Amino acid sequence: MKKIAILGSTGSIGTQSLQVIENNPDLFQVEVLTANNNVDLLIAQARKYQPNAVVIVNTDKYKIVSEALHNEPIKVYAGMDALNQVIQMETIDMVITAMVGYSGLIPTWHAVNAGKNIALANKETLVVAGENITQLAIEKQVDILPVDSEHSAIFQCLVGEIANPVEKIMLTCSGGPFRNKTLDELSSVRVEDALAHPNWDMGAKISIDSATLINKGFEVIEAHWLFGLPSSKIEVIVHPQSIIHSMVQFEDGSVKAQLGLPDMRLPIQYALAFPQRIKNNFPRFNILDYPFLEFEQPNTKIFRNLALSFEALEAGGNVPCILNAANEVVVQAFLEEKIAFLDMPDIIERAMQKIDFIQKPNLEELIQTNAETRKITQLFIKKNGRR
């Protein structure tokens, strides 16, 4: 029985992770559930899955959760410090990091430092602190198993190929809701348009990231750290059907691909059960339903966030941290209709140019970089954003 902690259990990945666990009660058990604000769903999950402990990060909502679970044999904690401590519990075997954005970094750091294997759905952890986290994982002998569908696909293609050099990996990308749009058309994009992803049901932040293609840029940086490949060996290909989740080309020219319907439960289950594959009742992919699969180059002149991500990876140091922090701020500003869709890459690029470069940042320096970038980005928004 593998005991699982889910960081961000009320989000899209968290709720689907619970479905996988529920479908395999002889293999997995919920040990810890955490949420930031969604107390109603967290309470319902706690009552249903009976974890050892729950953490509500927003301390203002501790009383609500505590009183609701008063008669349950469940420990209730509140705050980020409590989360960072709880995640180190000896009873936890694996941690699913499904928190959104930068907020997942420090809890993931503590989990790795405590020797917990990680099912990584929080790509920002490796975007911000890829070198630091991967070095710590090696030191603590921790496995980091990818949950993102693209990285799971690459990981699956690499199983059994440890001695065979990779020529390149190809991260597929749906192209988001604005594939083939012109800059003129993107100038009038509304928030509801950007939230309408054609293939995946996701939260607001990642939906906007997918619409700007920065989500794919983050995945490029994540792939660099997960698979030890330079940017020159990482290619992004637009594949609107989202059936081929990614591909690996080896030195002999052979290409392996992982195919399947857009269903995040499959990579979640693969990460939890690795190295075994377990039976499920998920809808099956039928290749005859997809006689035509399309592929094209992404337009980095229109979707500049993807180009900025490659630039950040090439620069290294704290630049990917700057990229992520600025993006989180501009995405929120866009969701609040303070800036336009095309303002986002402009402001991110200005932040990348403004913040001082650190070649080998430690964790504290990355935390400081994140804070400074957010302040600078807010200033750029006030000066240049749409009022």
Of 148-157, 183-192, 244-253, which range is least confident? 183-192
Structural domains of the chain sorted by starting position, each given as residue range(s) with its CATH number in brackets: 2-146 (3.40.50.720)
> pLDDT-derived band of residue 39, with 50, 70 and 90 as boundaries?
very high
Q: What is the pLDDT of residue 204?
A: 84
Q: What is the pLDDT of residue 198?
A: 66
Instruction: With beta carbons less than 8 A apart as the criterion, state whether 245 and 164 touch.
Output: no
If you search the block for the tokens 């020529």, which residue do you land on?
167
> pLDDT-derived band of residue 298, with 50, 70 and 90 as boundaries?
very high
Closest by CA position to 234, among listed 219, 220, 247:
220
Point out which residues pair with 166 in neighbouring strands.
Answer: 250
> pLDDT-derived band of residue 386, with 50, 70 and 90 as boundaries?
very low
Average pLDDT over residues 349-366: 96
Q: Is the pLDDT of residue 263 over 80?
A: yes
Classify 2 as helix, strand or coil: strand
DSSP 124-192: HHHHHHHHHHHHHHHHHT--EEE-SHHHHHHHHHHTT-TTS-EEEEEEEE--GGGTT--HHHHTT--HH
- For residue 233, what are its two tokens? 């060996």
The terminus-to-terminus CA distance of the chain in angstroms comes to 54
Q: Is the pLDDT of residue 332 over 80?
A: yes
Q: What is the pLDDT of residue 201?
A: 63
Q: Is the pLDDT of residue 149 over 70?
A: yes
In the sheet with 53-56, reading across from the earlier edge strand, the strands are: 75-78, 53-56, 28-35, 2-7, 94-97, 117-120, 144-146
- Better-scored residue on pLDDT, 210 or 54: 54
Q: Is the pLDDT of residue 193 over 90?
A: no
Share of the chain above pLDDT 70, in %: 97
Its sign, for the CA torsion 382, 343, 126, 225, is negative
Share of the chain above pLDDT 90, in %: 89
In the sheet with 244-250, reading across from the earlier edge strand, the strands are: 234-238, 166-173, 244-250, 255-259
Chain segment 108-140, per-residue pLDDT in tens: 999 999 999 999 999 999 999 999 999 999 999
Its sign, for the CA torsion 157, 158, 160, 165, is positive
Helix (H) or strand (E) holding 271: helix 265-273
Mean pLDDT for the chain overall: 94
d(C-alpha 28, C-alpha 269), whole Å: 10
Q: What is the pLDDT of residue 176?
A: 84
Chain segment 79-101, per-residue pLDDT in tens: 999 999 999 999 999 999 999 88
